[in-house]
Amino acid sequence: MGRYEDKFKTFLDEERKIVDKRLSQSLKNRKPSSLYEPGYYIIEGGGKRLRPLLVLLAVKAVGGKLNKAYNAAAAVELLHNFTLVHDDIMDNANKRRNILTVHKKYDTNIAILAGDSLLSVAYEYLLKDCNGTAKKVLAAFTKGLVEVCEGQSLDKEFELSENVSIEEYIVMIQKKTAAMIEMCCTIGAVIGGGDEKEVRSLANFGKNIGIAFQIQDDLLDITGDENDFGKFVGGDLVEGKKTFLFLKALEVSEGTDKDRFLEIIKNKGVKPGQIQSYKELYQKLNVLEDAEKEIKHYTNLALKSIKKIKNEKYREYFALLADLLIKRRK
């Protein structure tokens, strides 16, 4: 794998710049500015650009041409940011990527409309790259959108429910997070001209790495550095979110330890001053290690699914990306 690492980093850097330029063009100087300026604000706020890069990697993995997929790559990032704007409103989040969230910088009504505009422009840009694959590409894109909405709804349901299983949680994150990553891989493979086996293999990679990605996000929420993470560390506990860590702790704890987790459900979260004590309790119960094992499990499933990809270079690129995601600190 070593011989591909430098080339992979160069690929990511070069393609990220092209995607950033396309994203900027998609919203810059549009009128009315009251609608598009807030969307431009969140897009210019940066991000890993994981989703558009997955589209482009999938295109190359099946032998396609990148210049036929840059608009689609921009479209999935616009869609992703639409979900972030609305998620931040629902969570009443103050920061995203170390800057004020859209509804805090402007106001909630402006943020809702700005999010809707991001989704609209996403479809506009996706259609530019559909060509003869329009039905399959639009079907995958729309399915991803439907599932992310279902996942967000389940997430909100879980906040009110006293009994959520780890199995139910996995279903929720498969919809809320993994479905969109699966969609990116599917769209790239279809636009690139992949056959059914290749499309299915890359879609499975996306689904499984997406689940691993979200559990890693849960883990970083309690172990990350706020400057790296770009969000308030321990926020999931404060909001009373039923993450993988919380549900696993509830499952394995006993006695007074279990009572402390049941208190979180009763009180709908913890006070910021309690975060460290709960982190120590997670450590005592080996929940952090359990989360790491689960991340590795789904990462291995993702890697297994791309063994059928014939292009060795891009098969290794996907493996390197998986490694990058599970070792990330933000």
pTM, two decimals, is 0.92
The string of DSSP letters for 229-264 reads: HSS-TTHHHHHT---HHHHHHHHH--HHHHHHHHHH
Per-residue pLDDT in tens (0 to 9) along the chain, 330 residues: 567 899 999 999 999 999 999 999 999 999 999 999 999 999 999 888 999 999 999 999 999 999 999 999 999 999 999 999 999 999 888 888 889 999 999 999 999 999 999 999 999 999 999 888 899 999 999 999 999 999 999 998 998 888 999 999 999 999 999 999 999 999 999 999 999 999 999 999 999 999 999 999 999 999 977 666 556 678 899 989 999 999 999 999 999 999 999 999 999 999 999 999 999 999 999 999 999 999 999 999 999 999 988 889 999 999 999 998 888 766
Indicate the DSSP class of residue 310: -
pLDDT digit string (tens) for 244-255? 999 999 999 999
Number of domains the chain is built from: 1
Helices (H) and strands (E) counted in the chain, each on its own, are 17, 2
How far, in Å, CA of 190 to CA of 198, rounded?
Answer: 9
Residues 6+ apart with CB under 8 A from 263: none
- The CATH number of residue 34's host domain is 1.10.600.10
Q: Rounded distance, CA 275 to CA 58, Å? A: 40
Residue 330 is predicted with a pLDDT of 60
The answer for residues whose C-beta is within 8 angstroms of residue 125's C-beta and 6 or more apart is 22, 26, 71, 72, 74, 75, 78
Range of the domain at 216: 2-326
Q: What does the pLDDT look like over 76-86, one tens digit per residue?
A: 999 999 999 99
